[in-house]
Structure 1
């Protein structure tokens, strides 16, 4: 499948809804002999070292499996131009640094016993030997851990629900993911957390952790991210990759369009050039101020225009990923 001018990447987790890189084509495909499971710990995105979140990885079907059923995992394949592949993969290596490694696996487009693979694609997976691997647990325990976990990139429940919605939109079945989704939605209903407006006020300290840790601090910081955004900023591919892959701040040079009127210290949504939501953040400047520096290099405004005391429109620690 890797033609002369393209590299192919298979996404089965957050890459399904937030690839964060330019691509020429996206299509649904699956891999055989592997299962998507919430066995990988997340201390850098959806949890903390003291209170890890759970994200998905792949486990290989045992050779002595007696079930007579081949494991299948559906996901998204991205076609990337060969010229762009090296920097994109370098950024993805950083994004997936929490225990994930590159592998190459066969991908398939049609189901059936004798179907030939479409070709090979790069896949990031976390092996059982990595330091953040949490392993198997009951569905109830996994759901509770996801429900109470929050990290620098946002709530663990947002990751779960985005993944489940991506699979629902594809029209495929994933028993493990959908069971965790069902249990977490039950917890959200029980604690009156509405995932449509994404309110977070009803998550109490006791739900996050039995002992104080950084999660409580993050919760207080993140409450504002789940109110109603007052504006929207469209950002270019370079800014998307910097924010979603390398946890960088948003600079004016990466902004291509703005909608809304708001004061500084306001919540806004960041979108890519295809109008897909990438992130939310708290601005350092008002909409009027941002409008005067859109697309500018820092040398053209930072410490030269009155009132512009920060280089970034949104600092990286005031951004969460969607």
Structure 2
């Protein structure tokens, strides 16, 4: 089943799932192939600073990713794109792409999404659970504590029935470190 190519959809796999920041007409579970959710981006603005970076999710090549697609009204398209570019392209660690996704109801749609730029100096690559947890447990940026970002993302993934074992391990380990630091 396909959808009118004139429809405008945005794919969210991290904070966009629980904090899109824009009006939408429809929200659907979605599955994107060829890219996977990865805690691979050093955050210098929203969840850390340049001196003490946090970690946020990116879409990295390989595998697939379950997330959320938002259908945006045609008259809101330009404003939403402007908003997303301001939010996601702050340091240009992401590349804007239009990629196909399959919605929960079986429709295939074209989605605007942001993938990580592996050549960018903020690309963290594959980290161990301990490395990621140490970073997350202490980093804070203009959008708040990195720990809150991971908590919110894991909570939303659980609500959607999505398991991300590596991210869950990072979250548990970071919670333990955060509790010791905060005590």
Q: Which residue of 2 aligns with 1:84?
A: 76
Residue 59 (structure 1) aligned with residue 60 (structure 2): yes
- Distance in 1, matches of 2:103 and 2:3, equals 15
Give the TM-score normalised by the residue count of structure 2. Answer: 0.90
- 1:38-67 per-position Cα deviation (integer Å, ceiling 9, x unaligned): 110111111011111100101112xxxxxx
Residue 150 (structure 1) aligned with residue 140 (structure 2): yes
Greater strand proportion: 2
Q: Which residue of 2 aligns with 1:37?
A: 38
Q: Per-residue deviation at 1:104?
A: 1.5
Q: Per-residue deviation at 1:190?
A: 3.6
- Distance in 2, matches of 1:182 and 1:120, equals 35
Between 1 and 2, higher relative CO (CA 8 Å, sep ≥ 6) is seen in: 2
- Whether the 8 Å CA contact 2:9–2:109 is kept in 1: the answer is no
Instruction: Structure 2 unaligned segments of length 5 or more: list them.
Output: none
For this pair of structures, how many residues does the alignment match? 180
Give the TM-score normalised by the residue count of structure 1. Answer: 0.53
- Distance in 1, matches of 2:115 and 2:60, equals 9
Q: Which residue of 1 aligns with 2:151?
A: 161
Instruction: Structure 1 unaligned segments of length 5 or more: list them.
Output: 62-70, 111-115, 194-201, 203-322
- Distance in 1, matches of 2:5 and 2:39, equals 35
- 1:222-273 per-position Cα deviation (integer Å, ceiling 9, x unaligned): xxxxxxxxxxxxxxxxxxxxxxxxxxxxxxxxxxxxxxxxxxxxxxxxxxxx
Partner of 2:158, secondary structure, is helix
- 1:130-168 per-position Cα deviation (integer Å, ceiling 9, x unaligned): 232122221101111011101111100011111000100
Q: Cα RMSD (Å) of the superposition?
A: 2.0
